[in-house]
Amino acid sequence: VMNFKIFENEDTAANYVANILRKQMNDNPTSTIGLATGKTMVPIYKQLVDEIKEHPVDMSQLKFINVDEYVDLDPSNKESFAYFMKEKLYSQVNVLEHQSFIPTGSGEEAVKQFNEKLEEFGTPVLQLLGIGQNGHIGFNEPGTSFDEGVHVVNLSEETKSQNKDQFADGNVPTKAITMGIKDIMKSREIILVATGQHKANIIRELYDAKVSENFPASILKEHRMVTVVLDKEAASEL
């Protein structure tokens, strides 16, 4: 079941999601939480940090795992998702190195390491997701088999051009490593967030879509607990 929740603006949507994340951490203090990066997540992590500072949570036994990362970007690279997570969340709320994992590297070794971490950390109680304008979740591009696990992907031209502004020189890496749809679907609960007018079209399509591998996010309709959190702009075509 896919529940749609619409908020007045990006900040009220982020506040709702930050609250859920904090509550999960508090209620399941030894669990694993699946996280995501991208512009949509910036206000969410900001509010989460503020909330945790205001109402402290024991985070010492929690584990965090991210859905995806560009291939061959060193974690010290400011454009990497690893850097993003550290800067926006982990360093702010004292999540230690061993408590979090963001995939890194490329090829078979990287896939193996990601799978081992998924195994070690265990199935997330909650998976946070954004959505690409072509309907991708994580970096599962249209056409990816729903049975695919962790894999390295050649990014589509569309995805590269959408993420261009996150790279100083405009050169987006051509490959990424991502959890597969199969991995994402295991999570107990999923929250997909989309904000801004540029997401209105894909959200309308998601609402209407039949489940199809040509539209990766459509698989979420088969998950038992999915909430799609939107601001008014992203919901403007519903």
Q: Point out which span in 32-40, 45-53, 82-90, 115-123 binds ligand GLP (CB under 6 A).
A: 32-40
Which C-beta is closer to ligand GLP: that of 57 or that of 203?
203
CB atoms within 10 A of CB 107: 12
Judged by CB under 6 A, the chain residues 109 through 138 that form the site for ligand GLP are: 130, 132, 138
DSSP readout, 152-177? EEEPPHHHHHHTGGGSTTS---SEEE
Q: Which is nearer to ligand GLP, 160 or 186 (CB)?
A: 160
Q: Can you name the residues that pair with 226 across neighbouring β-strands?
A: 2, 190
Using the rule CB under 6 A, which residue among 139, 179, 230, 235 binds ligand GLP? 139
Q: How far is it, in rounded angstroms, from Cα 97 to Cα 58?
A: 16
Q: How far is the CB of 216 from ligand GLP (least distance, A)?
A: 11
Pairing of strands 32-35, 63-66: parallel
Closest CB to ligand GLP among 37 and 104?
37
Cβ distance 66 to 53 under 8 Å?
A: no
Closest residue by beta carbon to ligand GLP: 130
Q: Is 189 a catalytic residue?
A: no
- Which of the ranges 18-26, 30-38, 43-51, 55-63 carries the binding residues for ligand GLP, by CB under 6 A? 30-38
Contact 14, 51 (CB under 8 A): no
Q: Report the half-sphere exposure of 76 (CA within 13 A, side-chain side).
A: 0
Contact with ligand GLP (CB under 6 A) among 23, 39, 53, 164? 39
Of positions 10, 51, 68, 141, contacts ligand GLP by CB under 6 A? 68
SS3 126: strand
Give whole-number Cα distances, 209 to 4, 137, 212, 221, in Å: 14, 15, 8, 9
136 is catalytic: yes
From residue 149 to residue 188, the character string flagging contacts with ligand GLP as x (rule: CB under 6 A) and all else as - is ----------x---x-------------------------
How many Cβ atoms sit within 10 Å of the Cβ of residue 34?
27
**Enzyme catalytic residues:** 68, 134, 136, 141
List contacts with ligand GLP (CB under 6 A): 36-40, 67-68, 130, 132, 138-139, 159, 163
